[in-house]
């Protein structure tokens, strides 16, 4: 009898990476889902904190600009009050325009 060739059927052991991934994602899917939720919520917290800090800095800058503009506004109001005093207007009219105060001698009545 001829020797029959026997084929050796050997099973390959599954790759370690495949075993680990199937164990993590298939058997322990709840833990994996919780880990993903934890990582994503941590990233959201970091993003929110960064946005809050940026907006706080911007708000502080705007408050400083508001204070500066408020001081400028008060300065302009004071200048307007000073420039609109009647005595100052009268003296400027006399000096720059050569105007004189009206008396009965130089008063002229125009009738239409």
Question: Does 60 reside within a domain?
Answer: yes
pLDDT given for residue 96 in this prediction: 92
The tens digit of pLDDT for each residue in 45-86 reads 999 999 999 999 999 999 999 999 999 999 999 999 999 999
Give DSSP secondary structure letters for 75-93: HHHHHHHHHT-HHHHHHHH
Question: Does 65 reside within a domain?
Answer: yes
- How many residues in total does the chain contain? 112
Q: Per-residue confidence at 15, pLDDT binned at 50, 70, 90?
A: confident
- The answer to whether 77 and 84 are in contact (CB under 8 A) is no
41, pLDDT greater than 80: yes
Question: Does 102 reside within a domain?
Answer: no
Residue whose entry in the numeric block shows the structure tokens 């060739």: 5
Q: Provide the number of structural domains found in the chain.
A: 1
Q: Which domain holds residue 67?
A: 16-97
Residue whose entry in the numeric block shows the structure tokens 């058997």: 27
pLDDT given for residue 26 in this prediction: 83
């Amino acid at each position: 009898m001829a020797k029959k060739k026997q084929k050796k059927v050997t099973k390959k052991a599954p790759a370690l990476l495949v075993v680990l991934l199937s164990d993590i994602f298939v058997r322990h899917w709840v833990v994996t889902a919780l880990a993903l939720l934890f990582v994503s919520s941590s990233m959201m917290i970091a993003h929110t904190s960064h946005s809050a800090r940026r907006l706080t800095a911007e708000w502080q800058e705007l408050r400083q600009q508001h204070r500066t503009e408020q001081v400028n506004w008060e300065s302009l109001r004071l200048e307007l009050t000073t420039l609109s005093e009647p005595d100052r207007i009268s003296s400027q009219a006399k000096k720059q325009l050569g105007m004189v105060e009206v008396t009965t001698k130089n008063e002229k009545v125009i009738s239409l």
